[in-house]
Amino acid sequence: MELWKLPAWKIAEEVRRGNLSASQVVESHIRRMESLEPSLNAMITPMPEEARRRALAVDEALSKGTDLPLAGVPVAVKDLLCTEGIRTTCGSRVLGEWKSPYTASAVRYLEENGAIVIGKTNMDEFAMGSSTEQSAFGATSNPWDLSRVPGGSSGGSAAAVAAGYAPIALGSDTGGSIRQPAALCGVYGLKPTYGLVSRWGLIAYASSLDQVGPFSRDLVDLALVLEVISAYDPLDSTCVPGSRPRYRDALKAHDLKGQRIGFLKGYQDFDMDDEVKEKLAFALRICQEGGAEMMEVSLPVSTGYGLPCYYIVAPAEASSNLARYDGVQYGLSEEGKSILELYLKTRGKGFGNEVKRRILVGTYVLSSGYYDAYYLVAQKVRRLIADEFARAFSAVDALIMPASPTVAFKKGEKLDDPIQMYMSDLFTLPVNLAGLPAVSMNVGYSKAGLPVGVQVVAPKWGEMEILKVASVLTDAVGSPKVAMGGEG
Amino acid sequence: MPLSFTPVIGLEIHVQLATVSKLFCSCSTDYIGQKPNTNVCPVCLGLPGTLPVLNGRAVEFATKTALALNCRVRNRTRFHRKNYFYPDLPKAYQISQYDLPLAVGGYVELTEADGSKRRIGIQRLHLEEDTGKLVHIASDGRLSGALYSLVDYNRAGIPLMEIVSAPDITSPAQAKEYVARLRQLVRYLGVSDGDMESGSLRVDANISVKVSDGRWGKKSEIKNMNSLRAIERALEYEIERQSSMLARGEEVEQETRHWDDAAGVTRSSRSKEEAHDYRYFPEPDLLPLVLEEGFLEEIAESMPELPWEVFKRFEEVYGIEPEDAALLSERRDVAAYFEACVKAGASPDKAANWIKTELFRVMNECKCSADDFPVRPEALTELLRKVEQGDLSATAAKDVFGLMAGQGLRLDEAIKAAGVSVGKVSGGALKDIIDEVLRENAEVIEDIKSGRDKKGKKVKFLQGLVMRRTKGQADPQEVSELLDESLNN
Ligand SMILES: [Zn+2]
């Protein structure tokens, strides 16, 4: 049996029943990872030995009667989530071999439930990018077509799940970094409401936008992981206290009777691949056939100003968040004759071009004399976007939008054109600006065999709602397939 | 007409709050004397992926101080990031407050030397985290010639309360008085030890000088004043420096200057003063700080009597001289001690006298607080009563007090140990002692009898000997009479 094809819930069930051992499960996934990794480069730090050790510990704990809901489930973790004792690089040279003395809360919650980290996944440096090409550790390939990108910035996590390294993975989403690669790799990816999942141990890109979220090939897995990682965490002041629903209950829905589903007015006129438009229309039809009342929604501010707004707010926060990588305490440190020279050399060598670009932009928009014209205006626009969504959600229960305007594009295609690259997140980043939950999922494949996704967006704390719609869509299109990842 | 010069002074005071833990993590605030970089954790080291969690006690302490300073405390405030690169700043930004400080618009009332009152405005009071410390390794310890620098983050993240005065201060003495009042306040409130030497209370001054011809010099920022005396001296120096420059028609440059206490001068910080752009923006890792309903009322209710209120009461209720009232109200523990004495029945005057002399002397020696001073107010009151009743002379009482304080003896034990009996030495017993003294000083008697003691000095000398031998237990009047009697025989 190819254990690496199993969904996480099934693995946990079999391991808990004693039909499978965690070690067997982990071994199967490690072999899959090792066979495809030369062509995919989805991992920055594979952790086969740690995973094997951990699997033995899980088997041991089970034999003693410990109940572990995610027993033996391999998980791939984006390399900006800290893992105690294992280096965390953020896809950058600047952190060197730095190892955190703590584990990110979301990862810790998974481990406490019996999941096993099999490695740290590749990403655009500091989560700044939409293709996972801007990594100090080389580009990741799309497992559906090795000449194409997996999307980004959580491209490594999306590719790892699509190719079967693990049934589930964690990523982070600041402007679409989970949903866009999920769409391009043909898997589920969920960006929770801002404040649902703890950011403790998530290395910050833009703190007011960042959220940790899951990837999976199975919708039950997605809900299950969300239940585990969304536990309240007092270590993150922006994490909202209180209990979370049992998200799997949302998946009992098999129709959308009484639901009002919105879609972007005139979406056909947006600059998108035709096949993306077709699949979006297909998804809308499914909802309609499922009994939903379909309604046109217009979001002119979000689609018109979301992108410039995002590229002020996110770089501003990033310029501050990344200032600590100065070569004084940890990570890369270049010698200098003065402290300034040490800073300049360390940061000059440690950061890649896209990161430098955003630090410069962010520093600029916060500078006195420019703050009011840029940062302050962007904050106002951000509020308008949130208001616009709120108005839309007074009329509809959920929105269906493109997750990416295109299918996976060729490596190198947009690397020299930052604006084209930024356009990849046109439909995802307003969701972060408004702090809303959204799930990205596969709704079919292009003629060339590339996955096409859509995203379902709901008001704050509407995770149950988006999972309900995803459940109905899944009934119609089926669960995502495992990508070949270049094998055979 | 000769020119006259008026200084315009504003003070920025950073007060370390005496919370148990740091402002955004659970590390201790007790960092002085710790091995470098041992009083730290991932949060105050600013390690990647860590997040701040606000210490509610710090908010309480700052709010309490703000209310005592008559400030308006905001119900809703927030934190900002102040961005700049420096190795002692682990995150390369300081979490501080900017456009919405915790409190604004208060004042401190000072009493001038002539007894008149003067209000110094408080512009704002806000919370922020402290930085680490750099140690420059060079033969002369100076930054300019340093070979390398070491960083100690033990202090990073210690809660600071910044109190910014209005530029209402017009003399060095006033500045000193203002700082003294604030230091007294934070100690009364128990929100800080207010120690300037160890840096718990740090004062920076902005000072400029206005000329009577309408010119107004640019301000200097004076740093490194580590005592009340230093503040006064530094400002005196700076007024003189700026005034004479202006008198010569020179321009005063806007700059930061350091006070060199040993040399008694301020020096320009040679590093070129760059126009800092701190790129403040709201700290996204913390929610806006919203004070819960009833929080301010609770803080107000828990407010102790403020030092200036205590001062006024001591003056008005107990009729104590202003200088004494100031001394007694300077510290909350001393004020409480004094009041306990009065409550136990001591006369306010006598208690005040004893406290400002004997109690202060011993407290200075043992560096202890009046709260745990070995002689409790009731015991001191009892001692004072014995002096008043004539059972003990003032001199003997001091010895007794010394024994009670030094050896922790009870009053009766101390009296016994001091060798003084309770009750006067008089009549026959006194006569015996006088005879004894006279026998031992035949020559002096000779001098007196032969009329060589015109000024009466020798008689006084004999009286002193008698008093000493009675351990101060005799009535001086009786000694004098009996001595005269014996000498005239
Ligand atoms: Zn700490």
B residues 259-298 lying closer than 8 A (beta carbon) to A: 277, 279-281, 284-287
CA neighbours closer than 13 Å in the CB half-sphere of residue B57: 17
Interval between CA B45 and ligand 1 midpoint (Å): 7
Residue B446 pLDDT > 80: yes
Chain A residues whose C-beta is within 8 A of a chain B C-beta are 80-82, 88, 90, 95, 98, 100-102, 104, 199-204, 206-208, 234-238, 316-317, 319-320, 323-324, 326, 328-330, 339, 343, 363, 366-368, 371, 375
Predicted local distance difference test score (pLDDT) of residue B275? 66
Q: What is the pLDDT of residues B369-379, one digit of tens each?
A: 898 888 999 99
Residues A456, A459, A460, A466: what is their CA dihedral angle, to the nearest 10 degrees?
-30
Give a yes or no: residue B325 inside a domain. Answer: yes
Nearest residue on chain B to A336, alpha-carbon basis: B148
Q: Which domain holds residue B468?
A: 427-488
Cβ-based contacts of A313 with chain B (< 8 Å): none
In the predicted model, what is the mean pLDDT of residues A30-40? 97
Whether residue B373 lies inside any domain: the answer is yes
Contact A1, A120 (CB under 8 A): no
Please list every residue in chain A whose beta carbon sits closer than 8 Å to the beta carbon of residue B42.
Answer: 100-102
Query: Which of B79, B76, B32 minimizes the C-alpha distance to B52?
Result: B79
The answer to whether residue B9 sits within a structural domain is: yes
Q: Do B279 and A317 lie within an 8 Å CB cutoff?
A: no
Between A130-144, A309-323, B423-437, the lowest mean confidence (pLDDT) is in B423-437
Mutate to test the interface with B, among A81, A98, A125, A366 (most CBs of B within 10 A): A366
Tokens found for residue A361: 């932009």
Q: B159-189 burial by CB neighbour count: b if 16+ within 10 A, else e?
A: bbbbbbbbbbbebbbbbbbbbebbbbbbbbb
The answer to whether residues B437 and B471 belong to one domain is: yes
Q: Are strands A211-216 and A168-173 parallel, antiparallel or unpaired?
A: antiparallel
| pLDDT tens-place string over residues A356-366 | 999 999 999 99
- List Cβ neighbours of B474 (8 Å cut-off, separation of 6 or more): B393, B424, B425, B426, B430, B433, B466, B467
What percent of chain B stands above pLDDT 70?
96
Picking from B281, B286, B287 by the largest number of A CB atoms within 10 A of its own CB, the best residue to mutate is: B281
Which residues of chain A neighbour B279 with C-beta distances below 8 Å?
319-320, 363, 366-368, 371
B182 and B103 in a common domain: yes
Q: What is the per-residue pLDDT across B72-122, written as a single tens digit (0 to 9) for each?
A: 999 999 999 999 999 999 999 999 999 999 999 999 999 887 878 999 999
Q: Which of B391, B438, B441 lies closest to B411, judged by CA?
A: B391
The residue out of B296, B321, B344 marking a domain boundary is: B296
Q: Mean pLDDT over residues A331-339, rounded?
A: 93
Alpha-carbon distance A174 to nearest alpha carbon in chain B (angstroms):
14
> Residues A21, A78, A135, A198: which is the catalytic one?
A78
A chain contacts of residue B50, beta-carbon cutoff 8 Å? 102, 200-201
Asked, for residue B180, whether it belongs to a domain, the answer is yes
**Portion 297-356 of B in contact with A at CB < 8 A:** none
- Asked if residues B206 and B13 have their Cβ atoms less than 8 Å apart, the reply is no
Which chain B residues contact residue A366 at CB under 8 A?
A: 83, 279-281
A199 CB neighbours in chain B (<8 A) are 51
Cross-chain residue pair A203–B49, CB shorter than 8 Å = yes
Residue A487 has a pLDDT of: 73
Q: Do B447 and B411 reside in the same domain of the chain?
A: no
Q: What percent of chain A has pLDDT over 70?
A: 100
Say if the Cβ atoms of A326 and B83 lie within 8 Å. Answer: no
B422 is a domain residue: no
Domain's final residue, options B296, B314, B349: B296
DSSP secondary structure letter of residue A70: T
Helix (H) / strand (E) element for B307: namely helix B307-318
Cβ contact B109:B145 at 8 Å: no
Residue A19 burial (CB < 10 Å; 0-12/13-18/19+)? Answer: exposed
- What are B320-344's pLDDT values in tens digits? 998 899 999 999 999 999 999 999 9
Catalytically annotated residue among A28, A153, A157, A319:
A153
Indicate the SS3 state at residue B355: helix
Per the annotation, the verdict on A78 as an active-site residue is yes
Q: Which pLDDT does position B482 carry in this prediction?
A: 86
What pLDDT score does B364 carry?
Answer: 85
**Residue at which a domain ends, from B258, B275, B296:** B296
Average pLDDT of chain B is 91
| Residue in B42, B50, B287 nearest the CB of A238 | B287
pLDDT tier at B141 (50, 70, 90 boundaries)? low
- Spacing, Cα A232 to ligand 1 middle (Å): 22
Does residue B126 sit in the same domain as residue B233? yes
User: Looking at beta carbons, which residues of chain A come within 8 Å of B54?
Assistant: 237
Distance from CA of A60 to the nearest CA of B (A): 31
Condensed to tens digits (0 to 9), the pLDDT of residues A51-68 reads: 999 999 999 999 999 999
Ligand 1 centre to CA of B29 (Å) is: 9
Q: What is the CATH number of the domain that holds B441?
A: 1.10.10.410
Active site residue A345: no
The whole-number pLDDT of residue B47 equals 98
Structure tokens at A249: 């209950």
pLDDT tens by residue, B351-361: 999 999 988 98
> What is the rounded (10 degree) CA torsion for B112, B113, B114, B117?
10
Q: Are residues B271 and B206 in the same domain?
A: yes
Hey, of A88, A240, A328, which one would you mutate to test binding to chain B, going by the most B CBs within 10 A of its CB? Answer: A328
Q: Are residues B292 and B309 in the same domain?
A: no
Instruction: Name the residue among B54, B281, B286 with its Cβ closest to that of A375.
Output: B281
Q: Is A177 a catalytic residue?
A: yes
Taking the C-alpha atoms of residue A398 and residue A213, their distance in angstroms, rounded to an integer, is 19
Instruction: Give the total number of structural domains in chain B.
Output: 3
**B374 and B292 in a common domain:** no
Task: List, for residues B163-183, the tens digit of each pLDDT value.
Answer: 999 999 999 999 999 999 999
Which of B96-100, B268-272, B395-399, B485-489 is least confident?
B268-272
CB contact under 8 A, B279 and A367: yes
Distance (Å, whole) CA A150 – CA A186: 10
> Nearest-CA distance from A316 to chain B in Å?
9
Q: Of the candidates B87, B92, B286, which has its C-beta nearest A323's C-beta?
A: B92
Q: For residues B239 and B234, give the distance between their C-alpha atoms in angstroms, rounded to a whole number.
A: 9
Please report which confidence band the pLDDT of residue A300 belongs to, taking 50, 70 and 90 as the band edges. Answer: very high
> Are B273 and B331 in a shared domain?
no
Specify the pLDDT at position B386.
84
Q: Assign A335 to helix, strand or coil.
A: coil
**Ligand 1 centroid, distance to B295 Cα (angstroms):** 27
Residue A39 burial (CB count, 10 A): 14
Say whether the ipTM exceeds 0.90: yes
Instruction: State how far the alpha carbon of A18 is from the alpha carbons of A21, A64, A215, in Å.
Output: 7, 12, 26
pLDDT band of B24, cuts 50, 70, 90: very high
CA distance A327 to chain B (A): 9
Residues B171 and B208 placed together within one structural domain of the fold: yes
> Do B321 and B187 have their domain in common?
no
B285 and B327 in a common domain:
no
pLDDT tens digits, residue range A256-293? Answer: 999 999 999 999 899 999 999 999 999 999 999 999 99
Would you report the helix, strand and coil content of chain B in percent, each value rounded to 5?
Answer: 40, 20, 40
Please state at what angle helix A22-40 crosses helix A48-63, rounded to 10 degrees: 160
Instruction: Answer yes or no: is B151 within a domain.
Output: yes
- The residue-averaged pLDDT of B239-266 equals 95
Distances (CA, A) of A476 to A291, A425, A455, B28: 13, 26, 16, 58
SS3 content of chain A, % helix, strand, coil (to 5): 45, 15, 40
Give alpha helix (H) positions in A120-207: 155-163, 179-185
Q: Is the pLDDT of residue B395 over 80?
A: no
The alpha carbon of residue B334 is apart from the nearest alpha carbon of chain A, in Å, by: 42
Chain B window 157-186: which residues touch A at a Cβ cutoff of 8 Å? none
Tell whether B443 and B331 lie within a shared domain.
Answer: no
Residue B97 lies in a domain: yes
The answer to whether the CB atoms of A204 and B45 lie below 8 A apart is no
Distance B394 CA to ligand 1 centre (A): 55
Chain A's closest residue to B25, CA to CA, is: A235
Smallest CA–CA distance from B93 into chain A, residue: A320
Which one-letter amino acid corresponds to residue A122? N
Query: Over 90: is that where the pLDDT of A196 sits?
Result: yes
Which range among A70-84, B127-141, B308-322 has the greatest average pLDDT? A70-84
* pLDDT score for B9: 98
Is residue B423's pLDDT more than 70? Answer: no
pLDDT at residue A78 greater than cutoff 60: yes
Q: Please tell me the least confidently modeled range out of A470-474, B284-288, B383-387, B472-476.
A: B472-476
Q: How far is A178 from chain B (nearest CA, A)?
A: 19
- Report how far residue B184's alpha carbon sits from residue B168's, in angstroms, rounded to the nearest whole number: 20
